[in-house]
Amino acid sequence: MSTAQVSPEPPAPAKSPRSGSPFARDEMIRVGAIALGLLVIVILVPAIFSLYYVDALTQVVVYAIVALGLGVLVGRVGLVSLGQAAVLAIGAWVAARLLFGSGLPFELVLLISGLITMVIGTCVGLPALRLRGLYLALITLMLAGAITVALATLNFPNGGHGFSGYNGAFVHIPAIRRPGIATSDRAYFRYSIIVAALMFLVVLGHLRSKPGRAWAAIRQSESAALAAGINTTLYKLWAFALASFVTGVAGGVLAGAQQYLYSINFQTQDSITLLAVVLMGGAYSMWGAIVAGLLLELLPAILNNIGVSPDWLTILFGIGVLQVLTTAPRGIVEQFPRDMARLYRAITGAARRSSGRSATS
Amino acid sequence: MNGMLGLLHLATFFPPWVDEEPFLVTGLALGGVYALSGVGLIVLFRTTGVLNLSFGAVGAFGALIAWQLINHSGLNQWLAYLVCILFAGVVTLVYGMVFGRALADRDPLVKATASLGVTLILLGIMDLLWTSSGGASRAITLPTDNHGFMVGQVTVSTTDVIALAVGVVITVTTTIFLRVSRLGTAMRAMASDREITATLGVPVARVEACAWFGCGVLAGIAGILLADLVALDATTLTFLVISSIAATLIARLSSIAVTFLAAIVIGVVESMVVPIESLTNYADATPFVLAVIALLVLSRTRALSGERQGF
């Protein structure tokens, strides 16, 4: 086994669209349903929920994008990174610096911070070309640790001058600015949903085209992929570039969402928790990224609201990792519907049996 | 002229040697604990294929239990430390018997990730039981902290000596144990090939159990020593294991001797960077930076695959 696999079985090949048109009919229906669902979320969620939950859901959106990037690495290519929270911190740092230091439009800042993070993340990915499996995971953990230490010293920009943009003497720290069309929390939630939808589309575009097929091949067997003429080096780096790009954009969204960033909120532990929720959500499906975001950010918000310690969640994530790795490698996204289907069958089966018995008697 | 300036610059960059001496002592002590952790991790990894990332969390949990017993149950502190070590050994053994076996055929990466799951569980329980909010600070003070002697201008506490000595002793005895004893030979055989070893009639499960328990015991010892030398804090202790892993990575997860050397170097560099003013804040990054450099240099010469070979 050349590429480390977190699951014993490769994910089922994507349902190929029916021959002829690239958009088969049921595909169109699905896209329509998702678009409609998004529209409903964008309109209804900020209107219904309290500000507390709108803020929490904005965090969910941010971490769903991060989980999406990590899902590409872990689920599609088989590269496990234990440093994605550090990559997110880099994205947030760059975005905050640009937002304080320039008058660039917010969208452009997101794009630039995505690109800069992409360059840095790809450099992190360079050792991945030589290191495999366990070694790669550990080197990303080491790099994340080093970045965390560096960030704690450098601090996040708070409107100061110089390269770091940090001024420890500030009493009144200015807030990180938001886009002009989304200054309120509710509007910013809508804005972040749109950014996230774009990121999901970018990743989907990759998965449905040449890179996606190359990644699937590399994941199954690197030597076979090489023999088939796939430039494995290029596509592995590409995966790191894509994951870092979306994570960098997520960092930008995070900077705008929190408006005040502190290095103490970015710890090495977060990278581990992140991997845990991505595995729990399901690394092989893009829906898994959304589940991961909900687990990581909405669940703590709910628990906090009802006065339960978030430490229970850490324990739950730990149990989740063990459970996913031992029995359910595809995560909640696949397991939950399967369990529900099984339950449904059990109930209908029991009903049928009892009705059959009453009919014969 | 330029040379003079350069020297002057160096002189302001590096503090005088007198300032460095106490940090050398701390560094050697820290390096000793990293070494004993590294040896524990490597023996387990070679025998079972599991890189036990919960090492730090188990040690931290044990140390917190010891603190609880000493400060709230009034237990004799040596008994409390014994409880800590036994607790760490048993927890690690139970994990190994349940999940180590369930994941025996899987990739090393999966096994390591699973041990991260245990880390999260233990971390959550520790934060629940010994909450760190409200500024509660705990400490473990070994009685040997107050004994010591002078080397030149520097006070060396007996704890520092013990830490380094335990590191050396564990490294040496483990090496001899692996060469000489039956169990050690079985472990080396399993590191080479598990299946063939089983065919030869070695009780594989029992040997693995010994490795798990041994690793846990070392985690307990490391937990107490680090709680004394660094801080008794769940998160700090849990993630200090990363520094030991850096040492094992430099040794490419195989050589005990290299692990020991790397651990000492990491400990010493990490401490001696502290008095250098411009680098003080980056001292904690030392293990990571050294490990990354070592991995990059090593991977140039030979591809690292994570496959298992002998010790």
Q: What is the DSSP string of A1-51?
A: --S--SSSSPPPPPPPPPSSSSS-HHHHHHHHHHHHHHHHHHHHHHHHS-H
Number of residues that make up chain B: 311
Residue A90: which of A265, A252, A278, A271 has the closest Cα?
A: A252
Residue A6 covered by a domain? no
In terms of phi and psi (left: phi > 0; alpha: psi -120 to 50; beta: otherwise), the region of A146 is: alpha
Residue A31 lies in a domain: yes
- Residues A234-251: what's their mean pLDDT? 93
Instruction: Answer whether B123 touches A (CB < 8 Å).
Output: yes
Percent of chain A whose predicted confidence (pLDDT) is above 70: 90
User: How many domains, in total, are found in chain A?
Assistant: 1
Q: How confident is the model at residue A103 (pLDDT cuts 50, 70, 90)?
A: confident
State residue A8's pLDDT score: 43
Interface of A with B in 21-80 (CB under 8 A): 80
Q: In terms of Cα–Cα distance, which of B242, B257, B275 is closest to B119?
A: B242
Tell which residue, A238, A247, A231, A218, has the closest CA to residue A83: A247
Considering chain A, what percentage of its residues have pLDDT values greater than 90? 31
Question: What share of chain B in percent tops pLDDT 90?
Answer: 38
Interface check for B246 against chain A (CB to CB < 8 A): the answer is yes
The domain containing residue A46 runs over which residues? 25-266
Two structure tokens written together for B52: 């036990």
Cross-chain residue pair B121–A314, CB shorter than 8 Å: yes
Q: Rounded to whole angstroms, how far apart are CA atoms B261 and B37?
A: 13
**Short-list B46, B49, B61, B47, CA closest to B241:** B61
Q: Which residues of B touch A316 (CB under 8 A)?
A: 124
Digit-coded pLDDT (tens) for B275-307: 887 787 888 888 888 888 887 777 665 544 444
Contact B175/A at CB under 8 A? no
Scan for tokens 């994910």, then name that residue: A11
Instruction: Evaluate if residue A242 carries a pLDDT over 80.
Output: yes
Where in the sequence is the domain holding B187, given as residue range(s)? Answer: 21-131+139-301
Residue B97 burial by Cβ neighbours in a 10 Å radius (0-12, 13-18, 19+): middle
Residue A115 distance to chain B (closest CA, Å) = 24
Task: Look at residue A155 in the predicted model and tell me its pLDDT.
Answer: 82
Residue B60 pLDDT > 70, yes or no?
yes
A134 inside domain = yes
DSSP 8-state class, residue A302: H
Q: Are strands B148-151 and B154-157 parallel, antiparallel or unpaired?
A: antiparallel
Average pLDDT, chain B: 85
Helices (H), chain B: 2-13, 17-48, 55-72, 77-95, 101-102, 108-129, 158-180, 182-192, 194-199, 204-229, 234-250, 256-273, 286-301
Whether residue A358 is contained in a domain is answered as no
CA distance A81 to A242: 13
Residue A182 lies in a domain: yes
**What is the three-class DSSP state of A230?**
coil
The model's confidence at residue B8, banded by pLDDT at 50, 70 and 90, is: low
CATH code at B83?
1.10.3470
- On whether residue A37 sits in a domain, the answer given is yes
A311 in reach of chain B (CB within 8 A)? yes
**Cβ atoms within 10 A of the Cβ of B60, count?**
32
CA distance A157 to A152: 12
Is the pLDDT higher at A1 or at B202?
Answer: B202
A360 or A279, which is more confident? Answer: A279
Within a domain: residue B296? Answer: yes
pLDDT tens digits, residue range A192-240? 999 999 999 999 999 999 999 999 998 888 888 888 888 888 898 999 9
Complete DSSP assignment for A119-142: HHHHHHHGGGGT--HHHHHHHHHH
**Chain A contact present for B129, CB below 8 A:** no
Ranges A136-150, B69-83, B297-311: which has the least confidence = B297-311
Sort out which chain A residues have CB atoms less than 8 A from B299's CB and list them. Answer: 127, 130-131, 135
Q: Please report whether residue A306 resides in a domain.
A: no
The Cα–Cα gap between B11 and B24 comes to 19
If one counts the domains in chain B, the total is 1
CB atoms B285 and A149 under 8 Å: yes
From B95, which residue of chain A is nearest by alpha-carbon distance? A322
3-state secondary structure B131-173: CCHHHCCCCCCCHHHHCEEEECCEEEEHHHHHHHHHHHHHHHH
Beta strands, E only, A133-281: none
Asked if residue A16 belongs to a domain, the reply is no
CA distance B191 to B201: 15
Query: Is B21 part of the contact surface with chain A (CB cutoff 8 Å)?
Result: no
